[in-house]
Amino acid sequence: MINKKYLHEEHYYKLLGKAIVSFNDMEKTVIHEICLLLAIDGKLIIEIQGILSYLPFEGKIQIMKSLVHKKIPEHYRLFMKILKKLKEIEERRNDYIHSQWLLGTYDEDEGDLLKINEKKLFKSNHPEILIENMFVSKKDLQLFIQDINTLRDELRKFSEKLPRTKAPLTLIPN
């Protein structure tokens, strides 16, 4: 007999995993666009993509911001709108990834998964811990994944405005 509670938990874990993979795909798109802006092609691209993969996400988008400003200033305003969304989606991702999760049996509309996020605040050299509890439904996670993928597609569309190199670019396989 199959344990229904386990299947229920597994569904949440799959959604969280899918969110991580979707964000990674979006991050690889940023790396790809940096390489386009740098006009890197051939074998060097694999090395540059490898180096860029070590940078935190914020570092990658700051490099891209600088390159867009210098190389295609006519598209800088559009990129700044995308940049704002990138920062927001990264903050949401970090909030999900760095939270504690407890599965309960709650109303599915309100959410079955309790996300506990501890934030340390420092005031007058005395740390305070703010604990935020939030129920997360499957729909919340599905919408988050959709938001990531929509932003990734927006980045790819922006990529059409970037200068092209002679050789086709390929992403480093994970």
- How many Å is the maximal CA-CA distance in the chain? 62
The count of structural domains within the chain is 1
Q: At what angle do helices 76-97 and 4-37 cross, to 10 degrees?
A: 150
For residue 115, being part of any structural domain is answered with no
Please indicate, yes or no, if residue 173 is contained in any of the structural domains: no
pLDDT of residue 74: 93
48: Cβ contacts below 8 Å, ≥ 6 apart: 34, 35, 38, 40
> Bigger pLDDT: 67 or 126?
67
Domain that holds residue 88: 4-99+138-159
Higher pLDDT, 30 or 12: 30
Helices 138-159 and 4-37 pack at an angle, to 10 degrees, of 20
Q: Is residue 111 part of a domain?
A: no
Instruction: Tell whether pTM > 0.85.
Output: no
Structural domain contains residue 129: no
- Tens digit of each residue's pLDDT (9 = 90 or more) over 149-173: 999 999 999 988 876 654 444 444 4
Res 137 pLDDT > 70: yes
Q: Is residue 128 part of a domain?
A: no
Residue 56 maps to a domain: yes
pLDDT at position 135 is: 75
In a domain, 117, yes or no: no
Question: Per the domain annotation, does 110 fall within a domain?
Answer: no
Whole-number CA gyration radius for the chain: 19
